[in-house]
């Protein structure tokens, strides 16, 4: 089976690969970004993902091809650099970091390492400056291997609000999906979707799906898909099993509270089905497979779910082992390939 992996994280070999794309005054002070806390206490990357020739995990394209594409038959990894462009108090610096990572990705993984065109990229934006973000989308939209726009789920406001609309206008203008991925929640002035600050990594990491629920409620209730009828959204690494009960609640409240948001003319779940796709990793695995398959059935998994591995991160999902073996083959085909192929035009 040909597989599209919708969440793969390439890394630069060193900070200089990014620094060279940064102008003054940002160049001199640049260091590879990371969260200052909430570090995984065990390990952050698969230990076997360190390239034999050295360097960070997922910095060697040949080893990534062998370990991810060769082992599992993945045809297209969708590349999402971990830029942390949204943690900087200065919006100009954040936008410069986004631009530098985009230039690096285009130069390396999408060109020098990409003779066969297997690697597809994501245009990183800094959502703290929506106008600069829109200009960044315009800058890269015509690149033949850039297939979406991506940003962090950690934000200062729910992403369905109107201050972000220049971003969605640009996505629509170029026919690019808008994706969000965890990473900056609670850091750099970005709020957490919890009442306060979690203590432990396990608490923070498990709670990341809460941000996706909050942003999704915002998109669905603000009328984003009425304003931008061709916009598509990809929720990456935000969890899957919560979706059905959230939609049941939202559809029920919409029946009662329709005139609170009268621009929502259909059950919210119908907008989701048409506009939103979710990546599967880290897939929840209840004790009984039929419980997960029932939740899949409830959300139309054959239309909304896309496989992702999160390579090289520690909670990697194996294409051959992450899903229940009893999952029907037609659904597997949709999740492993077809839905992502449709979203990204592959």
* Min separation Cβ 157 and another protein, Å: 34
Residue count, binding to another protein (CB under 8 A)? 14
The helix (run of H) or strand (run of E) holding residue 233 is strand 233-235
- In the bound state with another protein, the residue whose beta carbon lies nearer, of 286 and 330, is 286
* Min separation Cβ 49 and another protein, Å: 9
String of contacts with another protein for each residue 258-297, x by CB under 8 A: ----------------------------------------
* Min separation Cβ 52 and another protein, Å: 12
* Min separation Cβ 297 and another protein, Å: 24
Q: Which of 13, 39, 43, 249 binds another protein (CB under 8 A)?
A: 43
Can you say how many angstroms the Cα of residue 183 is from the centroid of all Cα atoms in its chain?
Answer: 10
* Min separation Cβ 42 and another protein, Å: 4
- In the bound state with another protein, the residue whose beta carbon lies nearer, of 138 and 284, is 284
CB 150 within 8 A of CB 179: yes
Q: Which of 27, 32, 46, 191 binds another protein (CB under 8 A)?
A: 46
- In the bound state with another protein, the residue whose beta carbon lies nearer, of 44 and 341, is 44
CA distance 3 to 323: 14
- In the bound state with another protein, the residue whose beta carbon lies nearer, of 46 and 332, is 46
* Min separation Cβ 289 and another protein, Å: 15
DSSP of 268-324? HHHHHHHHEEEE--S----SSHHHHHHHHHHHTHHHHEE----TTBTT---TTTSS-
CA distance 215 to 243: 12
- In the bound state with another protein, the residue whose beta carbon lies nearer, of 48 and 115, is 48
Structure-token match 């409620």, residue found = 217
**Hey, which residues between 47 and 86 contact another protein (CB under 8 A)?**
47-48
- In the bound state with another protein, the residue whose beta carbon lies nearer, of 46 and 303, is 46
- In the bound state with another protein, the residue whose beta carbon lies nearer, of 140 and 311, is 311
Structure-token match 């996706």, residue found = 212
CA distance 61 to 51: 9
String of contacts with another protein for each residue 296-325, x by CB under 8 A: ------------------xxxxx-xxx---
Q: Which of 24, 29, 31, 42 binds another protein (CB under 8 A)?
A: 42
Phi-psi domain of 244 (left: phi exceeds 0; alpha: psi -120 through 50; beta: other):
alpha
Query: Distances in Å between the alpha carbon of 193 and those of 31, 82, 158, 302, 310?
Result: 28, 21, 10, 29, 22
- Token digits of residue 264: 């929502």
The helix (run of H) or strand (run of E) holding residue 139 is helix 130-140
- In the bound state with another protein, the residue whose beta carbon lies nearer, of 43 and 173, is 43
Q: Which stretch binds another protein (CB under 8 A): 37-45, 102-110, 138-146, 226-234?
A: 37-45
* Min separation Cβ 54 and another protein, Å: 16
* Min separation Cβ 339 and another protein, Å: 22
* Min separation Cβ 231 and another protein, Å: 34
Tally the C-alpha atoms within 13 A of residue 197's C-alpha that lie toward its C-beta. Answer: 7
Helix (H, G, I), strand (E, B) or coil at 129: coil
Q: Across the beta sheet with 146-152, what order do the strands follow?
A: 121-124, 146-152, 178-181, 233-235, 276-279, 305-306
200 touching another protein, by CB under 8 A: no
Query: Cα dihedral sign for 165, 170, 176, 179?
Result: negative
- In the bound state with another protein, the residue whose beta carbon lies nearer, of 113 and 314, is 314
Site residues, another protein (CB under 8 A): 40, 42-43, 46-48, 314-318, 320-322
């Amino acid at each position: 089976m040909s597989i599209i992996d919708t969440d793969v994280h390439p890394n630069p070999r060193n900070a200089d690969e990014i620094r060279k794309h940064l102008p003054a005054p940002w160049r001199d002070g640049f260091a590879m970004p990371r969260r200052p806390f909430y570090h995984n206490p065990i390990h952050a990357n698969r230990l076997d993902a360190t390239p034999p020739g050295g360097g960070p995990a997922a910095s060697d394209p040949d080893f990534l091809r062998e370990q991810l594409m060769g082992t599992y038959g993945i045809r297209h990894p969708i590349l999402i650099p971990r830029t942390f462009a949204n943690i900087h108090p200065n919006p100009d610096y954040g936008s410069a970091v986004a631009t530098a990572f985009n230039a690096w990705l285009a130069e390396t993984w999408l060109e020098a390492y990409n003779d066969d065109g297997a690697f597809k990229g994501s245009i990183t934006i800094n959502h703290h400056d929506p106008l600069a973000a829109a200009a960044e989308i315009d800058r890269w939209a015509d690149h033949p291997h850039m297939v979406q726009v991506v940003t962090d789920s950690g934000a200062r406001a729910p992403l369905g609000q109107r201050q972000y609309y220049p971003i969605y206008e640009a996505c629509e203008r170029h026919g690019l999906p808008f994706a969000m991925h965890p990473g900056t929640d609670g850091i750099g002035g970005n709020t957490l979707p919890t009442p306060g600050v979690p203590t432990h990594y396990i608490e923070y990491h498990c709670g990341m799906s809460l941000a996706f629920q909050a942003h999704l409620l915002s998109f669905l209730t603000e009328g984003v898909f009425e304003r931008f009828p061709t916009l598509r959204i990809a929720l990456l690494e935000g969890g899957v099993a919560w979706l059905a009960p959230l939609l049941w609640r939202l559809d029920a409240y919409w029946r009662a509270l329709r005139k609170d948001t009268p621009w929502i003319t259909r059950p919210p779940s119908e907008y989701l089905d048409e506009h939103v796709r979710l990546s599967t990793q880290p897939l929840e695995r209840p004790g009984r497979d039929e419980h997960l398959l029932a939740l899949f059935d409830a959300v139309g998994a054959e239309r909304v779910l896309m496989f992702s591995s999160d390579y090289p991160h520690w909670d990697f999902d194996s294409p051959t082992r992450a899903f229940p073996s009893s999952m029907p083959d037609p659904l597997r085909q949709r999740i492993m390939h077809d839905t992502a192929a449709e979203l990204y035009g592959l």
